[in-house]
Amino acid sequence: MNTDTSIPLSPDRGVNPCMTTCTRCGEDTPTLLLLGTSDHLYECTACKQNVLGTKGKWKCPSCGADALTYKRRLDEQECIPAGLCEKCETEDREMKEAVAQGGVFWRCADCNSGGVIKAGVPLAEAVREQYGIGAPDPVGVEFTKNDCPVCGPNPVEKE
């Protein structure tokens, strides 16, 4: 077992500190990564996942494929999307609570927006009945631009 917890230092960037941004909204997060030599970006040709690592041959941590293609080295001032900001964490927690009370998660395949259909709304009740999933278990539905409350023909105002 390797117990070495040191960061391999980059010859030109040292510990190579890197700020992170929210994966949902792009705002700054309070996380600082110390990349060292792990500042090379790869893409898995099997699942399209982006992977950070050192130069070398790696397997994709998402799907296990031995099919990573080298893309580039990160710029010195580049931020990495990782985790959620405080606002999105709060939103996420509130959505999970609403779903546990009988609501339904939704997302749009076209505009990537998402949210919760609140408990008691006929559509939420119909979705739960259709799938046979009662509260507090999570359930979700996917819309397209034909019926999305954000990009569809009948947009709904945010509360």
The residue ranges of every structural domain in the chain are 17-81, 90-143
Residues of the chain with confidence (pLDDT) below 70: 1-4, 156-159
The SS3 of residue 14 is strand
Note the pLDDT of residue 1. 52
Rounded Cα distance between 86 and 56, Å, is 35
Structure tokens at 150: 């954000």
Q: pTM (2 decimals)?
A: 0.67
Note the pLDDT of residue 127. 95
Write b or e for each residue in 31-57: b if 16 or more Cβ atoms lie within 10 A of its Cβ, otherwise e.
Answer: eebebbbbbbbbbbeeeeeebbbeeee
For residue 19, the surrounding DSSP H or E stretch is strand 17-21
Rounded Cα distance between 113 and 100, Å, is 20
